[in-house]
Chain A
């Protein structure tokens, strides 16, 4: 079965969604991600959806779920690279992803997470070095 790769970038994890998701994949991704967060002690999760042209309520719910699960494990989720058309569709669907942070691109998302690490204290930064 297809699995979505999870890359480690410093203290954050990067997930790039490039294919159409379905239930099985979403469940597998959630399992992989939680395992990876626990294993690496990551403080941030970047989900890049810049190559997604079509979204539906399913994807919206999936993003919310991932964010909720990550938050429990003390990692912040940032959705990055959403296309304008996708943003409009999500808003029209009434899915505003309240629990998720957003950024324009991966770079900005990474900055957001780094800033959070700095703000939350030296112990995180110290442990990372």
Chain B
């Protein structure tokens, strides 16, 4: 059985191969960034090579299960590389730099039989190339997972609904408003209106960098939906430049709007029959602080 021979040939030179492989990985700069330790890399290479040996030396019936373990192993390595921030090249180098040491070992053992050497090289190449492609696939998928998770986190972080007072909610919007975010914002706001039995919702757009016709439309939709739930909306935090742009674009927000969140809160408080009063005049406080001690 030719594959068993290959397995034996690799196993007999295990030490050399590992050393040479480790050297290649070091040359490729895998350790330079400090994201992975020498000992960790050694364990990974040792485990992987042992699995390769097993795949070749085991009986033909076990090949599939061995290959599955190999894929699992390389999958885990690629995933951790992706999370640690390695580049695709650095990740792929892990597998492909094993080729040369393996080929050297086989070359020496099969020097007398070129046909067998060709077969052996082909078998090893097929295995390693397959694993290389798989490792890239896993790498890519892990990166995508990271991106999706971050997108979700951003979406959740950027749409909090804050209770300012009994029956008064604030919705500080940060970032650009697209249709998808408007949907999330709207749902959050309406849900909070029900939960807090709110009469007023203040939509603060200080953190919205641009307001074009589309964003205005999204805002108006949110205001209309809140009104249907029985809550009045106040829009605050429109910056001077944005106000100018809006007028130039002909964007009209037929809603109560205030310059700052503070003004909007004051308006909402007044509308619900409350006011905020100073407990003593500011000048008195200042005098008290500045007055010389008796």
Interface residues of A (CB under 8 A from B): 79-80, 82-84, 86-88, 90-92, 96-97, 102-105, 108-109
Determine the chain A residues whose CB is within 8 A of the CB of B230 once the complex forms.
80, 82, 102-105, 108-109
Identity of the chain B residue whose Cβ is nearest the Cβ of A104 in the assembled complex = B230
Contact B228 A104 (CB under 8 A): no
Identity of the chain A residue whose Cβ is nearest the Cβ of B189 in the assembled complex = A84
Inter-chain CA distance A92–B225, complex, in Å, is 9
Inter-chain CA distance A109–B199, complex, in Å, is 12
Inter-chain CA distance A79–B227, complex, in Å, is 11
Inter-chain CA distance A105–B186, complex, in Å, is 19
Determine chain B's interface SS by DSSP, over half rule: helix
B265 within 8 Å of A by Cβ? Answer: no
From B186, B197, B229, A82 is in contact (CB under 8 Å) with: B229
Identity of the chain A residue whose Cβ is nearest the Cβ of B232 in the assembled complex = A102
Determine the chain A residues whose CB is within 8 A of the CB of B224 once the complex forms.
91, 96
Determine the chain B residues whose CB is within 8 A of the CB of A103 once the complex forms.
230
Q: A91-B224, A96-B224 are in contact. Are A104 and B190 (CB under 8 A)?
A: no
Expressed in whole angstroms, the minimum distance between the Cβ of B224 and any Cβ of chain A is 4
Contact A87 B194 (CB under 8 A): no
Expressed in whole angstroms, the minimum distance between the Cβ of A83 and any Cβ of chain B is 8
Contact A82 B228 (CB under 8 A): yes
B221 within 8 Å of A by Cβ? Answer: yes
